[in-house]
Amino acid sequence: MFSSLSIRIRLILSFTALLCLLLAVAAVSLQRFQSLTEKTGILIDNDVRLVFLVQRANQRAQAAAICLLRLLQTPGRDQRVPIYAEMDADFADFNGAVEALMRGAKMGGGSERVARVLQLSANYGDTFQATVELIEGESLPAAREHFTSKTGVALAELLTATRELVSIQQEVTQADVQHLGEATEQARRVVILLAAIALVTGAGLAWVIARSIVRPVNEAVHVAEAIAAGDYKKEVPQGKGDEIGALLGSLTVMRDSIASREERILHLAYADALTGLPNRTRLIDVFEQLPPGSQGAVAFLDIDRFAVINGVLGHATGDCLLQEVGRRLVSSAGTGATVARLWADQFAILLPGADADAAQLQLQHVLEALRAPMEAQGQRLDVEGTAGIVVFPSGGTDIIALLRRANAARILAKRQQGGIAFCSGEEGEPSREQLSLIGEMRGALSRDEFVVFYQPKMELASDKVTAAEALIRWQHPERGLIPPGRFIPFAEQTGFIREITPWLLRKVVSHACAWRSEGKHIVASVNLSTRDLLGHALIEDAKALVTAAQLPPGLICFEITESALMDEPELALRHLHELADFGFKLSIDDYGSGQASLAYVKSLPVHELKIDREFVTDVDNAPRSAAIVRSTILLCRELGLSIVAEGAETDAEIDWLRTARCDLVQGYGIAKPMPEVDFRNWVMQHNLPA
């Protein structure tokens, strides 16, 4: 019953009971000690006063007896008068003490010894008076005889009785004191007992209250610790209708709220908000939970032309499309596969236990599922995907590296337009030395450590150098001259190429102006990467540079590769038209190495084609290569384009190209790339009139 009350009521009742006990202890103590005080007063008023009166009567009796003896020894009446006065005063005091003793005896109930003292006092008074009368009768001898025989004896008996009375009264007083001590000890024991009862009662109440509070609080603490450890299934004890019950109820609400919020947070942390698929973090977590040494594959997939769909039809349509893509990926990826959305239109698929053949077969099934028409915001869409695959553990055991390599394979598949490509090892991964160079590139640019080399392009009809390709080199203070193949690809990946190309363009424009001032009409070529071509800033910089230098734009040629046109072909084409309209020359580099070069020749505003070195090498002995080169030269003649054969290294190859009426030739057979100063001197020597 008590435990069902609220803590506040329990505390009030407990402290009230304890206070009542303390008040009882105080009241009993006061009553007992008041009783002791009263008894002590009675002892002092009766016993001590009685002793005092007896002693006073004794003293006054002796003083009167002494005066009587003096009278007996004084013969003259006149001489006895002052003694009478003194004797009368002493005897009066004696009588007063005796009367007081008589009253005290009556008030206290009297006693035999007090009565005897009173009787002896009266007898002594009578004999004393008789002796005085004899003295007054001038019979001193008779008076002396009477004093000796009567008065002295009465006085002695009185003194003896008073001494006995005083002694007995002292014994009585001592007994009373002893009784008072016993009463005091009894009162002390009662007070101690009551205090002990109050202490035990208080301790009991405190234990009961503490137990009713501490036990559920400890249980609540254990529940809170379980919640802190992530265990949201631990039962919260049932509370009663008190404050602890309210606390436990609040703890239950808090546990459920935390569990609900954590579930939502975990969902947000591990799931993609748009598609509901696992995100990158969840994919990494699933991979890391695979047993050590597990075999499988990781695929990196994106949707072709998604940027165009998103841009033309709007983000709502794009989001709807991504949701449908996610559903199809999950349904077609197979049992045990984990499909995750990484970002935008890029997805990853983890295929535990799959080898290369099984992974390729499964990804083909996935891509076929994507090719089926989709409905998004009332629009019928036909989409396709491109995927890169890497198998593990042969391709690595770190999921981040595997994703990066699968992405590199996806980029390769997109360039080859093959749908699926594999990256089985550490292809495309920078070495430790290359990583160090990547970190140093920005500082190298600010320290002007990059230098420009030029490789001549010789016009076969005149044997004159009419053009040159600008090639960047890194003059490292510790590693010497670093070729572009060791840092340019990673500059393109990191975006740093957007800082390198403007620097190179400024140098080339400056050199072209110097050549022109010397009378050399040489077209300088600059290579543009995908990032360069898709950014409009470089185009504005190029136009501003040649305008400021008053250099004819036709002396600058931009070489582009087919891969630079594949990511956003419409934007790239728009920028190329802007360059061509301004007067810059455009050249398609590595022609023949891609799959759609002929289509680009038809649509791009280019002025020149560069036949890839793969077809130029040994062209004089390879009929198939010769047929391709010859047909390309004829095509350029028909289209009004100039043709450059790169990679010519032997005189036989150069002679064949001259016979085939190729316009320009570039390669080690003409000259290796060289610094600008050396190039200027070489051109001066080579272009001398015959």
Q: For residue range 418-429, what is the model confidence (pLDDT) as tens digits?
A: 789 998 554 445
Single out the residue of 488, 523, 510, 496 nearest to residue 683, CA to CA. Answer: 523
SS (H, E, C) 426-490: CCCCCCHHHHHHHHHHHHHHHCCCEEEEEEEEEECCCCEEEEEEEEEEEEECCCEEECHHHCHHH
Query: Rounded to an integer, what distance in angstroms lies between the CA atom of residue 323 and that of residue 331?
Result: 13
pLDDT at 108: 46
Give mean pLDDT, residues 310-327.
90
Q: For residue range 333-372, what is the model confidence (pLDDT) as tens digits?
A: 989 999 999 988 999 999 999 999 999 999 999 999 999 9
Ranking 358-372, 410-424, 619-633 by mean pLDDT, the lowest is 410-424
Higher pLDDT, 218 or 447: 447
Single out the residue of 505, 506, 500 nearest to residue 487, CA to CA. Answer: 500
**Which among 269-283, 546-560, 584-598 has the top mean pLDDT?**
546-560
Give mean pLDDT, residues 218-239.
70
pLDDT reading at 161 higher than 90 = no
Q: Tokens in use for 120?
A: 């002896």
Query: Rounded to an integer, what distance in angstroms lies between the CA atom of residue 665 and that of residue 114?
Result: 163
Query: Rounded to an integer, what distance in angstroms lies between the CA atom of residue 384 and that of residue 367?
Result: 7
pLDDT reading at 546 higher than 90 = yes
**Which among 132-136, 268-272, 409-413 has the top mean pLDDT?**
409-413
Give mean pLDDT, residues 120-146.
77
pLDDT at 109: 45
Give mean pLDDT, residues 61-72.
74
The average confidence (pLDDT) of the chain is: 81
Ranking 71-75, 125-129, 559-563 by mean pLDDT, the lowest is 71-75
pLDDT at 218: 73
pLDDT at 469: 96
**Which among 1-5, 15-19, 402-406 has the top mean pLDDT?**
402-406
Give the pLDDT band of residue 596 (cuts 50, 70, 90): very low
Higher pLDDT, 303 or 379: 303
pLDDT at 72: 73
pLDDT at 118: 74
- Count, in order, helices (H) and strands (E) of the chain: 23, 17
Query: Rounded to an integer, what distance in angstroms lies between the CA atom of residue 34 and that of residue 183?
Result: 12
pLDDT reading at 566 higher than 70 = no
pLDDT reading at 662 higher than 80 = yes
| Ramachandran angles phi, psi of 496, nearest 5° | -70, -15
pLDDT at 39: 62
Higher pLDDT, 654 or 377: 654
Query: Rounded to an integer, what distance in angstroms lies between the CA atom of residue 65 and that of residue 62?
Result: 5
Note the pTM of the prediction, 2 decimals.
0.48
Higher pLDDT, 234 or 400: 400
Q: Is 242 exposed, middle or buried (0-12, 13-18, 19+ CB in 10 A)?
A: buried
Give mean pLDDT, residues 312-329.
91
**Which among 6-20, 420-434, 531-545, 665-679 has the top mean pLDDT?**
665-679
pLDDT reading at 3 higher than 60 = no
pLDDT at 427: 47
Question: Cis peptide leading into 502, omega within 30 of 0?
Answer: no
| Ramachandran angles phi, psi of 343, nearest 5° | -170, 160
Query: Rounded to an integer, what distance in angstroms lies between the CA atom of residue 259 and that of residue 41?
Result: 79
Give the pLDDT band of residue 450 (cuts 50, 70, 90): very high
DSSP 230: T
Ranking 3-17, 55-69, 153-167, 611-625 by mean pLDDT, the lowest is 3-17
What does the buried/exposed string (b/e) look like for 109-141 if buried means 16 or more CB atoms within 10 Å of the residue's CB?
A: eeeebbebbbebbebbbebbeebbebbeeeeee
**Which among 202-206, 375-379, 452-456, 561-565 has the top mean pLDDT?**
452-456
Q: For residue range 24-37, what is the model confidence (pLDDT) as tens digits?
A: 766 766 666 666 66
Higher pLDDT, 272 or 217: 272
Query: Rounded to an integer, what distance in angstroms lies between the CA atom of residue 201 and that of residue 21?
Result: 9
Q: For residue range 73-110, what is the model confidence (pLDDT) as tens digits?
A: 777 767 767 776 777 777 677 677 767 666 655 444 44
Complete domains list, the chain, with CATH: 2-205 (1.20.120.1730), 285-422 (3.30.70.270), 432-685 (3.20.20.450)
Long-range (24+ apart) CB contacts under 8 A made by 167-173 are 168/113, 169/47, 169/50, 169/51, 169/54, 170/51, 172/47, 173/43, 173/47, 173/48, 173/51
Single out the residue of 420, 363, 353, 417 nearest to residue 391, CA to CA. Answer: 353
Give the pLDDT band of residue 485 (cuts 50, 70, 90): confident
Q: How far is the first Cα of the chain from the last one, in angstroms, to the nearest whole number?
A: 125
Torsion of CA 298, 304, 308, 309, to 10 degrees: -80
pLDDT reading at 189 higher than 50 = yes
Q: For residue range 287-300, what is the model confidence (pLDDT) as tens digits?
A: 999 999 899 999 99
Give mean pLDDT, residues 240-255.
67
